[in-house]
Amino acid sequence: MSEKHEEDQEFDVGSEDEAAGKGTWKHAAFHVATTIATPAAYAPLPFALASLGWPLGVSSLVTATLATWYSSLLIASLWRWNGKKHVTYRLLADSIFGFWGYWSIAFFQQVASIGNNIAIQIAAGSSLKAVYKHYHKHGTLTLQHFIIFFGAFELFLSQLPDIHSLRWVNGLCTFSTIGFACTTIGVTIYNGKKIDRESISYSLRGSSSAKRFASFNALGAIAFSFGDAMLPEIQNTVREPSVKNMYKGVSAAYSVIVLTYWQLAFTGYWAFGSQVQPYIVASLTVPEWTIIMANIFAVIQISGCYQIYCRPTYAYFEERLASNRTSMLKNGLIRPIFTSIYIVVITLVASAMPFFVDFVSICGAIGFTPLDFIFPVLAFLKAGKMPKNRAVGISMRILNVGIAAWFSIVAVMGCIGAIRFVVEDVKTYKFFHD
């Protein structure tokens, strides 16, 4: 490990000592559920299914669920794979793959974090605007105003020191996830029954080329919906036995994910067919009070998710400052400064280009697919953690290589589809348009 990375590790361990080891498996479940099961993640799933059709859509969703649950357990098992504690994703990658592993994960984490926060800030602004328009139909506030309001609130939360300090926020967010899912699923079924079912079509729309790119885009959106780039950081907050507690936390979180993701994806596509909107709440019409409630749940949940994904960027800046032995870190001014810069940049991009589903797909393809599908299985192979039973070991090797190969293809296809949609949207869009 390089001297620079050793300094990073010293800082990471020291900065997390106060929070490390205090959380239970329930806290881990709250953190994992908050980072994955966000309204911004599963609200586009019906639209993704509409771009793939029933057979491919359902199989893609089920495969992604099982693959990410499996890979999350693999990451948890690598907690002390070489006898040392690796408190961040970057340091875990460095311990297994060296220099290139460290910087590859650093890059993918930044793409995932920034792309995710742009997407969910657009979603939060949209939900806040929907609530506002319900009470003030002729109000003059635009989507951009609400994106800015949400950014200001996140700047306040960003002053909390670490992930463990967000445990109560994330506990509330987990319950909001369930509330959003239950409300949205119920209202979706209600709306679906109100619609003339003969008018609903499930056929794929557009030319052959358009269908192909739409399916690529959908794969990126599904990858995004299972994104969790923070598992080692979350595991660092869990008390011993850390691996066992993390297994329980991840599995509990995925129980919530299966119950919400699959139900919303299937009912949303069933209700609206190929006409479903990229953000499922936008397709709902009646009863209005339930739609407002779903939007409020969405904003509460997103507020916690946003914070989880800020942390890799904040940690990076703090590592650089610590390695430079600067005194600015101690005077309490530097954190408000760099958190303000980060959130202003995210807010500016989200306000200028509120292409929700496009950012979702790009983030899923370039950020989350390597972090959540490809790296865990390759790291497990490289670390030599295979079971002693020969048959089980061979089966796991085949499974891991298969997951890495398939999702590498998904990453490329998702990226192509997302970039194509961004280019098309920019041609017809005015920046900062409401």
Per residue of the chain (434 residues), what is the pLDDT tens digit?
444 454 444 434 434 444 456 788 998 898 888 778 777 778 889 999 999 999 999 999 999 999 999 999 999 999 989 988 888 898 999 999 999 999 999 888 888 888 888 888 988 998 999 999 989 888 899 999 999 999 999 999 888 777 667 777 777 887 888 888 889 999 999 999 999 888 899 988 888 888 888 898 888 889 888 877 788 888 988 988 899 999 999 999 999 888 888 999 999 999 999 999 988 888 988 888 988 999 999 999 888 888 877 877 787 777 676 666 555 555 467 778 888 899 999 999 888 877 766 777 778 888 888 999 999 999 999 998 788 888 998 999 999 999 999 999 988 988 888 888 777 777 776 777 66
16 within a domain of the structure (yes/no): no
Residue 270 CB partners (closer than 8 Å, separation 6+): 192
Q: Classify 206 in phi/psi space as left (phi over 0), alpha (psi -120 to 50) or beta.
A: left
Residue 208 lies in a domain: yes
Does residue 13 lie within any of the structural domains? no
Residue 7 in domain: no
For residue 82, which amino acid is it?
N
Assign 276 to helix, strand or coil: coil
Contacting residues for 147 by C-beta, under 8 A, at least 6 apart: 121, 122, 124, 125, 347, 350, 351, 354
Distance, CA of 275 to CA of 158 (rounded, Å): 38
Q: Which domain holds residue 78?
A: 25-428
**Is residue 41, in this structure, part of any structural domain at all?**
yes
Q: Where are the beta strands (DSSP E) in 236-377?
A: none
Query: Is residue 2 assigned to a domain?
Result: no
* Side-chain-facing half-sphere of 429: CA atoms under 13 Å: 15
Q: How many folded domains does the chain comprise?
A: 1
- Judged by DSSP in three states, 190 sits in helix
Which residue type sits at 211? K
Range list of H helices, 24-88: 25-36, 39-42, 45-52, 54-77
The verdict on pTM exceeding 0.85 is: no
Q: Which helix (H) or strand (E) holds 10?
A: helix 3-16
Q: Up-side HSE of residue 220: CA atoms within 13 Å toward CB?
A: 32
> Is 59 inside any structural domain?
yes
The CATH number that applies at residue 90 is: 1.20.1740.10
Rounded CA-CA distance 127/367 in Å is 25
